[in-house]
RNA sequence: GGGGAGAUACCUAAGUGGCCAACAGGGAUGGACUGUAAAUCCAUUGGCUCAGCCUUCAGAGGUUCGAAUCCUCUUCUCCCCA
């Protein structure tokens, strides 16, 4: 499979494939690498597997000698990408943005080689920080209200009588300006980014540059089939623990497996087909192992799989249970649970107990008024809430 | 600038003076079943020193024995006109 074919396999739309093919050929002939732009706004701390799809593609380009231009949207993050949002993002402080940016780079670094010469990392505050109001007006004049309002997100919000703020309309223009500033040859993004990518093309043309090729990648859906998002809890974070990643992947719906294999693993198509032909549980195990091995290591994947089988299929108690120290004494069970973090409130703990989801040392307790003695110098008490929350409690 | 509509719990959304910690659905959590898939069923879904009490219906005041519901002001949003 050549580079172009591999790119097409991981993308949902390429504008245009012809242009890309020519660019690749020209670059090969001249030895001049293509500048592949990928922007990410440091609006939160977790990069998840869904974000990783375009990043994998970026890496693919890098492997073939092209230059990733990674844009940390520390300017745009202050504003917030309205893509797919039904509400406005809360504004972030400079501090938040900085912390997030650092963790982002760390996580992206596990996939793409970020070292000097191999990759260019830019922050868009570099140019946005210098612009004054008149520069903004000029930027605003590069498109029209009607054009910007065409986007689905805005149209939808207008239709639902939700607010669309003026500054949100500037977002695509800002992203477009990024492309102009870094003279991108190609820009990658999730398939909800098509509008923004297009804007870059348009603005480069106005600026007298060769318009970038836009490549969008399919959206990797969350484990429950909805859009992958931290707020739904259906995401797999790149900085998550092996056991966590493994478990999350195992909770994926069967329907999603084929797509996950293609987008989230580097396995070749024929091998994927072979695995999918077998038992769905085995296939999912393979998927989960592969992903854990990618993010962490083979060894971690092996351990995660074994721990999973023990805990959920054999219902054994896991061996890495967090230990919480409390003062020795007599506690009402709900209060103790709240203290050690098994529940936000005593009321919630109480509900768990009433629902039969709480065990002490393996025995179900459904008496809300149960007093628990925590005595010094004794074996820790094992508290369990639900299937997967375990805590050891010890006096100290 | 003028006129109209609206803000209810995680989300959608009912409730227009006491029967309201607030209908219903979604989501979430716990339980049964199981492959931590799907489907199905049951329970829970403000807090607490929990048969009781306390704090909630955008915010601040007010009327009333009693307010999510009525009045006044404030903030925010949408629609129509300019």
DSSP-assigned states of every residue in A279-336? -HHHHHHHHHHHHHHHHS-HHHHHHHHHHHIIIIIS-PPPS---EEEE-SEEEEHHHH
In the predicted structure, residue A211 carries a pLDDT above the cut 80: yes
Question: In Å, what is the separation between the CA of A211 and the C1' of B26?
Answer: 44
What is the arithmetic mean of pLDDT over A184-199?
Answer: 93
A42 and A186 both lie in a single domain: yes
Residues with CB under 7 A from strand B: A 158, 161-164, 224, 232-233, 243, 246-247, 250-254, 280-281, 284, 308, 311-313, 332, 334-335, 338, 344-348, 350-352, 354-357, 385-389
Q: What is the pLDDT of residue A37?
A: 97
Boundary-marking domain end, from A269, A286, A313: A313
As for the ipTM of the complex, it is 0.88
Question: In Å, what is the separation between the CA of A361 and the C1' of B55?
Answer: 36
In the predicted structure, residue A86 carries a pLDDT above the cut 80: no
- Domain annotation covers residue A231: no
Lowest mean pLDDT among A5-19, A44-58, A286-300, A351-365: A44-58
In the predicted structure, residue A380 carries a pLDDT above the cut 80: yes
In the predicted structure, residue A85 carries a pLDDT above the cut 60: no
In this structure, what are the phi and psi dihedrals at residue A233, rounded to the nearest 5 degrees? Answer: 70, 15
Boundary-marking domain end, from A290, A313, A336: A313
Burial pattern A5-44, b for ≥16 Cβ within 10 A else e, equals eebeebbeebbeeebbeebbeebeeeeebbbbbbbbbbbb
What is the arithmetic mean of pLDDT over A240-255?
Answer: 91
Q: What is the pLDDT of residue A367?
A: 92
A196 and A328 both lie in a single domain: no
In the predicted structure, residue A114 carries a pLDDT above the cut 60: yes
What pairing do the DSSP bridges indicate for beta strands A67-72 and A120-123? parallel
What the block records as the tokens of A211 is: 């318009």
Query: Is residue A157 within 8 Å of A164, Cβ to Cβ?
Result: yes
Please, what is the average pLDDT of chain A?
Answer: 90
A281 and A150 both lie in a single domain: no
Q: Which domain holds residue A180?
A: 3-217
What is the arithmetic mean of pLDDT over A311-323?
Answer: 89
Q: What is the pLDDT of residue A112?
A: 93
């Amino acid at each position: 499979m050549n580079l172009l074919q591999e790119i097409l396999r991981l993308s949902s739309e390429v504008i245009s494939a012809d242009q890309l093919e020519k660019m690749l050929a020209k670059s090969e002939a001249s030895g001049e690498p293509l500048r592949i732009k990928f922007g990410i706004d440091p609006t939160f701390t977790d990069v998840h597997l869904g974000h990783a799809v375009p990043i994998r593609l970026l890496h693919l380009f890098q492997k073939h000698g092209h230059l990733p231009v990674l844009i940390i949207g520390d300017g745009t993050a202050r504003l917030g990408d309205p893509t797919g949002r039904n509400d406005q993002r809360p504004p972030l402080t400079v501090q938040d943005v900085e912390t997030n940016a650092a963790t982002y780079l760390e996580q992206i670094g596990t996939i793409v080689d970020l070292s000097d010469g191999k990759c260019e990392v830019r922050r868009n505050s570099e140019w946005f920080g210098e612009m004054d109001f008149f520069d903004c007006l000029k930027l605003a004049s590069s498109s029209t209200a009607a054009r910007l309002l065409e986007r689905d997100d805005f149209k939808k919000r207008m239709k639902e009588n939700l607010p669309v703020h003026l500054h949100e309309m500037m977002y695509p223009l800002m992203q477009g300006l990024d492309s102009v500033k870094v003279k991108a040859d190609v820009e990658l993004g999730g398939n909800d980014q098509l509008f923004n990518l297009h804007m870059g093309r348009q603005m480069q043309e106005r600026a007298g540059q060769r318009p970038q090729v836009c490549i969008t990648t399919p959206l990797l859906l969350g484990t429950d089939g909805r859009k992958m998002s931290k707020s739904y809890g259906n995401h797999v974070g790149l900085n998550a623990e092996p056991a966590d990643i493994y478990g999350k992947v195992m909770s994926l719906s069967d329907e999603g497996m084929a797509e996950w294999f293609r987008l989230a693993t580097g396995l070749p198509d024929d091998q994927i087909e072979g695995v999918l032909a077998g038992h769905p549980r085995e296939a999912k195990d393979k998927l989960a192992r592969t992903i854990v091995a990618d993010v962490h290591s083979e060894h971690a994947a092996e351990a995660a799989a074994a721990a999973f089988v023990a805990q959920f299929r054999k219902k054994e108690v896991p061996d890495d249970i967090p230990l919480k120290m409390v003062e020795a004494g007599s506690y009402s069970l709900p209060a103790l649970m709240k203290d050690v973090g098994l529940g936000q409130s005593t009321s919630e703990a109480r509900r768990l107990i009433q629902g039969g989801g709480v065990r002490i040392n393996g025995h179900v307790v459904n008496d809300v008024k149960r007093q628990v003695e925590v005595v010094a110098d004794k074996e820790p008490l094992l508290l369990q809430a639900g299937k997967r929350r375990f805590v050891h409690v010890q006096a100290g």
